[in-house]
Structure 1
Amino acid sequence: MKALIRADADAVLFSLKCFVAAMLAYYIALRIGLNRPFWAVVTSYIIGQPLAGAVLSKAVFRLIGTVLGATAAVVLVPAFVNEPAVLTLALSLWLGLCIYLAQLDRTPRAYIFLLAGYTASIIGIPSVEAPGAIFDTAILRVQEITIGILSASLIHGAVFPRTVTTVLLRRIDAILADAGRWSIDSLAGAREARLDIERRKLAVDVAELHQLSVHLPFDTERILPRVRTVRALQDALSMLLPLASTIEDRLAELENCPGGVPDPVAALVARVRVWIEAGAARPDRETTAEPLIAEARALEPLAQQAPETGLVWRDMLLLNLLSRLEELVATIRDAHLLRDQIRSPSIRSISPRVPELLRSTSRRPLHLDRALALRSAMGTIATIALGCTFWIATAWKDGGGAVLIAGIACALFSGFDNPRAAIGKMQLGSTIGLVASILYAYTVLPRVTDFVTLAAVLAPMLLIMGVLMGKPQTMAVGTGILIGFPQTVGLYATYEAAFGPQFNGAIAQFIGIGFAMSTVGLFLAVGAEDRFARLAKAGWRDVARRARGRAPDGARWMALMLDRVGLMLPAMGKGIDPGKPLLDALLDMRIGFVAGELDLLKRGATEEERALIAETLGGVGTYFGHLRPSKSTPPPLEVLADIDRAAAVFARDEVPARRRDGLILLTSLRRNLFPAALPYGAAA
């Protein structure tokens, strides 16, 4: 309930600031004599964001996109104005290209491409009838949009600003608290569905940190965290998920072995739980973590054991458990160190460990579905091309407005899971806006004689619209009102009572959005099951590549797979049960990581070990390379035999470190690929 009240209060504050910014933009546009000041009003709402830094970054991205779009319109319209079909194709291809690039970016910077795409249509399509004025039109649109950008940036950045840094720090604290809680539960051996759901949400949390970090350079906070430190924290958090689930699995498997978990190991696990709960966040975490890591290393079986000693499955599990326990302690320690570094007012490192973590940080990869992006682009191109064909063939005077709105709808919502539903909500909002605009234009505005009165009578409608735009669940409806109300109501330099053109424009807008709904149903709609299948296939392809030594390093691999898990999660709130695909994705993430580490180990191994690792990884790569979502295929038993042969060879290795690393990785691969297999050596 408190969260709901807070969300409503935030939406109201957001709406108030948007309204003030819109009226400021409208006043300035009127004062300098711009003929279509409603674009300044619309822009001030479009770039509005609850966070000050996000507003400033979006303002910069919108300005760049607007200039690019205006440039494209100035180039295309005069060149092809005498060939309407060619001009239509050129504008649709430009918008399609921009949507394709926007969907491949997957960060707030994608806004540059979206704006570049539909700004060219906003300027270009209405200029078809007056191509000689295209340059003046482009300059005016850029001026109007710039006024809206500057007004919104000033108000959102100066009036009760919510900084990105404040939200980022709050989210980091919450994420670390959640991760600590389910890590403790995993060490306690809890195998609950609740834990699976909580751990999966880490993928969304890490993605949220990534999106927030993009806005950091534009934030209004006096002391800004370094983006690179946030990236390093994301890398550390990405490792927590597989580590906790691996430890949980090894503890459960050891309970089924004769002798169970040795008392010294159980005591160490209990102390690690206490440390995570009470010591990981303390300033002396580094000092208290070292004894736990050292004790886990000292308890490792086989590390100091002679190669002639028989290899026992329980010892392999213990070795794997203790090594992952060391990594868990180190990762949680590093995450809290990075958290404190982000909070530090100084750029100096708070620990010698921090520079080491920052050096290993690289650009975070995101999942890119080029085929789906191309499909969105082609669907948008088809929408614009078909709409323009109808416009040209029928010589419908307001047809250009319908095509323009259809293109904007495709640009805004083509990347959604269900774009048709989102555009349907936009249609609802647009209808509300159009009806309200007609009522305002002929019952209210004729009685307005000054700017203050105009702002007062517009306030109810614009404030309601702002509240709707401030909530994710009603954002599409608010956007529809924004498209339907300010332009149609007559927010021009002077009031004009022209019912015919206004009504025709409203009809064109309604038809344009309806046409977009129809075309996205044909070209852009992608079901949740299909998205799951595409994400799963991408993961399998990368597991196969990593097994063959052709995938990113471990940290980048984990980040990429975790991003895919995050893309699967939204379906949970729509009544779709993604349990198996998500569980498979987490398992694939662990298998791919281990396969890559084995490939690295191969470089320093003996000739016999290299041959067996190559054979094992070849089988893993072939298996994942041939997996299909429509058919459940278990791993071939030949791969299990290859793993066991490699384990037997590594157990005889005279080099303790290489023996240890090989057995840890092979045990992990065996448990992840063949969790129901008999213990190593049991069949013999």
Structure 2
Amino acid sequence: MPTAALPTWRDWLFSAKAFLASMLALWIALAAGLSRPYWAMAAVYVVANPLSGATTSKALYRALGTLLGAAGSILLLPPLADTPELFSLAVALWTGGFLFVSLLDRTPRSYVFMLAGYSLPLIALPTVSEPGTIFDVAVARTEEITLGIVCASLVFALVLPVRVGPVLGAQAAAWLRDAGAWAGAILRREGATGATRERQRLAADIRAMDMLISQIAYDAATPVATRQARELRGRMAVLLPILSSLADRLEAVRANGAEPAGLAAVTAGILAWMEAGPEAAPDEVDRLQQALAALEPRGAAARDWDGLVLSSALERLKELVDLWQDCRALQRRITLGHRADRWKPAFRHRRTVGARPHYDFGLLLFSAGSVVLATLAACFVWIATGWDQGAGCVIMTAVGCSFFAALDNPAPQIRSFVIWMGVSVVASAVYLFAILPAVHDFPMLVAVFAVPFLIVGTLVTRPQFTMIAMLLAVNTASFVGLQASYSADFATFANGNIASVAGGLFGLVWSLVTRPFGAAFAARRLVRAGWADIAATARGGANRDPDVFAGRVFDRLGQLVPRLAQTADPDVAAADGLAELRIGMNILDLQRIRPALPAGLHPSLDAVLDGVAAAFGRRVATGRAEPAPESLLRAVDAALAALTEARIGTGERAGLQALVGLRRALFPHAPGPLRLGPLAAALPIAAE
């Protein structure tokens, strides 16, 4: 094994804490005489996470999910035990219904609902022939799971805890380095409008950070970091369209030959200030803002298209400076905690962007419905064959299909699930029939478990091995089935575990047959949903809130970017979510100010909005990224001309700003209109 692949001391520390918590839970369960002490041991590895806050949050969610599943078992089994077909339908609908809710909640909290879904078959099906015992079994399952998660939470919180705050701060610092590289390319004029996938990956990284932000509230050492983390996330989201707009404007300024003499020096100063980090002079921000204000076009120079584009570029530069200052300060505060300096926000230009999910309800219903049918089909096979261990087959079908339902193509993961479950069966057999008969006390039990479980535990912290390691630890602990006194029957062991592996194989075959679509299908649906969002926004029927619209665009980007490498569709590959975000925001600006404009201007603005709706509606209908038609360019120019001839006022200025931004986003290579009239002289900025 290469040196780079060897476990680090942090991996060994995590593994040691997980093993300590599992042995503590097992010892307490054995001492208390609980009926299935191995459930307590297995529960530790289900919730264990290198971050103490993440362990606490997952422990809480697992407790709630187990309680819901236990309650459902007590509610449904007694009245339906004599009607196996109806009980099978109830189990399948319960599993799929809670899975659908979990797919809607894409935070760690979703684990509550997924676990509630498959806990019911896990608890109820083995006792279906003795429904009178379901209450005792449900209580025992809840007690043992709760014991395991309490032990895990205490050990990870008290023994050399790893806090969420510094990890989040380090991840934010890495994101800022990547965003800074893009900003540097823009400021150095290195053709930074390209590399669409790399830029959109920054949006996906923001979505990934939401997971850490949701866990920081459970970290006792960082009680005040949650608000700062959300402030940072909101500014990071705003920074991306600002950079996208800035790249476009600076490129246009250079192409038009309208760059003022001092702009290169100011952009170089901004880049040097960004690279200097905390070592930059405290008054450097004020000096940069004053230098940018001095470059604003005045008089006749502000009356043409080139002047408006320059003003827009300068405004984006001002926003970049303030945003970068805030992001750097917030990242430092999250990393250092109470040791950091006080923070005063500099960015006040506009609202920051919060998290707003985009749902593909069709695909989500299909995924959940597939699990319902798979569970129901496995139940009917069990009923038809009369297999005495068939409950294990149904359980593993429900668990395997639920675990990977959110994936575009779950079959490879379910295949891995089955393979490593088989490995766990073999390891359990070795323990149960070759090792445990020689174990006579708890210290010996700890000793025989220590080496394999400590080694497997070091793999949990590595994303590429997390699922494999967790399956090995949880399944081995469960399949061994430790009790207070040794008891093992090979026929029963083999029959039960064959049923479990058969359930995994059934779920694999079911996924191969019912879910052949893959990532390309989901990516195309995401792109078309973005086009439909813009068309609906232009029609005025949806997305009145810019924050909601922008948040949904970022969420779609976060879902799309991981799928881009798995599709060769040119229309999907060419999708630029940041450009579409700028289009949508400018449409919203036009709709917001339209009622305040003179009635004579409404027809020209309506022509623009109708043209955008038609252009993107055509994309939705054809599924092709067709360019905006020339008729829309003429409509935008006509609206620009109409607004420049109107009476000067706040509404006219804001409307012209939105039209400038819309024209640049839709027609970046079109030459600008010749002159815009007297209103332009009063405009301080142009829109995104």
TM-score by length of 1: 0.91
Q: CA deviation at 1:613?
A: 2.2
Matching of residue 557 in structure 1 with residue 555 in structure 2: no
Q: Is contact 1:184–1:273 with CA below 8 Å preserved after alignment? A: yes
- Equivalent runs, 1:4-153 vs 2, <5 Å: 4=4, 8-153=8-153
Which moved further from structure 2: 566-575 or 556-565?
566-575
Whole-angstrom CA distance in 1 between matches of 2:366 and 2:486? 43
Q: CA deviation at 1:5?
A: 5.5
Q: Aligned in 2, Cα 1:492/1:476: closer, same or farther, shift over 3 Å?
A: same
Residue among 614, 620, 645 paired with 2:606 = 614
- 1:327 aligned partner: 319
Match of 1:604 in 2: 596
What displacement does 1:345 show? 5.2
CA contact (8 A) 2:417 2:471 kept: yes
Deviations 1:550-586, CA, capped at 9 Å, x for gaps: 2153344333212222222223666868895364223
- Mapping of residues 630-669 of structure 1, within 5 Å: 630-655=623-648, 658=651, 660-669=653-662
Find the residue that maps to 1:595 and give its secondary structure. helix
Of the structure 1 ranges 408-417 and 611-620, higher mean CA displacement relative to structure 2 is found in: 611-620
2:425 aligns with 434
Q: Which amino acid aligns with 1:38?
A: Y
Alignment map for 1:151-162 (pairs within 5 Å): 151-162=151-162
Q: Does 1:626 align with 2:622?
A: no
Q: Contact (CA 8 Å) 1:349, 1:355: kept in 2 or not?
A: no
Secondary structure in 2 matching 1:218: coil
Instruction: Identify the residue that residue 380 of structure 2 maps to in structure 1.
Output: 389
Match of 2:686 in 1: none
RMSD: 2.9
CA apart distance, 1:355: 11
Distance 1:467 1:283 in 2: 41
Contact persistence 2:531–2:617 (CA under 8 A): yes
Q: 1:231 to 1:6 in 2, by over 3 A?
A: farther
Q: Distance in 2 between matches of 1:254 and 1:361?
A: 27
Residue 127 of structure 1: how far off its partner (Å): 1.6
Instruction: Write the distance in 1 (CA, Å) between the matches of 2:225 and 2:570.
Output: 36
The within-5 A match list for 1:185-200 is 185-191=185-191, 196-200=196-200
Decide which moves more: 320-329 or 572-581. 572-581
- CA drift of 1:123 comes to 0.8
Identify which of 440, 446, 457 aligns with 2:448: 457
Where does 1:244-323 land on structure 2 (aligned, <5 Å)? 244-257=243-256, 259-278=257-276, 281=278, 287-301=283-297, 305=299, 312-323=304-315
In structure 2, C-alpha distance between the alignment counterparts of 1:178 and 1:415, rounded to whole Å: 28
In structure 2, the CA distance between the partners of 1:2 and 1:609, relative to structure 1 (3 Å rule), is farther
In the aligned structure 2, how far is the partner of 1:252 from the partner of 1:360? 26
Distance in 2 between residues matched to 1:128 and 1:527, nearest whole Å: 37
Bigger shift: 92-101 or 311-320? 311-320
Map 1:172-191; keep pairs closer than 5 Å. 172-191=172-191
Instruction: After superposition, give the CA deviation of every residue in 1:398-439 in whole Å (9 maximum; x if it has no partner).
Output: 111111011111121111233111111111111111111112
CA drift of 1:217 comes to 1.7
- Opposite residue 251 of structure 1, the aligned amino acid is L
CA distance in 2, matches of 1:2, 1:164: 29
Q: Which amino acid aligns with 1:210?
A: D
Q: Is the 8 A contact 2:371 2:398 kept in 1?
A: yes
Stretches of structure 1 that go unaligned for 5 or more consecutive residues are none
* Distance change (3 Å), C-alpha of 1:476 and 1:174: closer
Give, in angstroms, the shift of residue 668 of structure 1.
1.9
Q: Give the distance between the partners of 2:114 and 2:3, measured in 1 at CA.
A: 32
Q: CA deviation at 1:455?
A: 1.5
C-alpha contact 1:311 1:648 (8 A) present in aligned 2: no
Q: Is the 8 A contact 1:543 1:624 kept in 2?
A: yes
| Amino acid paired to 1:386 | A
What is the DSSP-based 3-state SS (H/G/I as helix, E as strand, rest coil) of the residue aligned with 1:473? Answer: coil
With the length of structure 2 as denominator, give the TM-score of the two structures.
0.91
Q: 1:117 to 1:310 in 2, by over 3 A?
A: closer
User: Is 1:407 the counterpart of 2:406 in the alignment?
Assistant: no
**Match for 2:138: what amino acid?**
A
Q: Please, which of 646, 669, 688 is the counterpart of residue 676 of structure 1? A: 669
Mean Cα displacement is larger for which, 236-245 or 41-50? 236-245
TM-aligned CA distance change 1:194 to 1:157, over 3 Å: farther
The CA distance in 2 between the partners of 1:530 and 1:73, in whole Å, is 37
Map Cα deviations across residues 225-261 of structure 1 (whole Å, 9 max, x no partner): 342332222121112112212222222223322x342
Q: CA deviation at 1:171?
A: 1.7
Tell me: CA distance 1:194–1:29, structure 2 relative to 1, closer, same or farther (3 Å). Answer: farther
Contact 2:319 2:347 in 1 (8 A): no
Aligned residues: percent identity? 34
The equivalent of 1:480 in structure 2 is: 471
| Corresponding residue SS for 1:371 | helix
Aligned-partner residue type, residue 330 of structure 1: D
Are 2:36 and 2:481, in contact at CA under 8 Å, matched by a contact in 1?
no
Deviation at 1:158, TM superposition (A): 1.7
Does the CA contact (< 8 Å) of 2:164 and 2:219 recur in 1?
A: yes
C-alpha distance in 2 between matches for 1:355 and 1:270: 21
Name the SS for the 2:231 alignment partner. helix
With 575-584 and 29-38 compared, the bigger mean Cα shift is at 575-584
Aligned-residue offset at 1:195:
5.6
Question: Which runs of 5 or more residues in structure 2 are unaligned?
Answer: 676-688
CA distance in 1, matches of 2:597, 2:225: 40
Show CA shifts across 1:617-640 (max 9, x none): 222123223323733322122211
Asked whether the 8 Å contact 2:89–2:376 carries over to 1, the reply is: yes
Contact 2:11 2:461 in 1 (8 A): yes
Write out per-residue CA displacement over residues 111-136 of structure 1, whole angstroms, 9 at most, x where no aligned residue.
Answer: 11011111111111112111001111
In structure 2, the partner of 1:234 is 233
Cα distance in 1 between the residues matched to 2:341 and 2:11: 38
Partners of 1:312 and 1:625 in 2: how far apart? 32
Give the conservation status (yes or no) of the 8 Å contact 1:225–1:343. no
Q: Residues of 2 paired with 1:567 and 1:633: CA distance?
A: 23
| Alpha-carbon distance in structure 2 between the residues aligned to 1:38 and 1:546 | 55
* C-alpha distance in 2 between matches for 1:595 and 1:27: 64
Contact 1:225-1:342 within 8 A present in 2 as well: no
Distance 1:355 1:324, change over 3 A: closer
Q: Say if 1:355 and 1:640 are closer, same or farther in 2 by CA, change over 3 A.
A: closer
Distance 1:174 1:584, change over 3 A: closer
Are 2:529 and 1:531 equivalent residues in the alignment? Answer: no
Give distance in 1, aligned partners of 2:225 and 2:543. 28
Of 471, 489, 511, the match for 1:520: 511
CA–CA separation in structure 2 for the residues paired with 1:324 and 1:422: 45
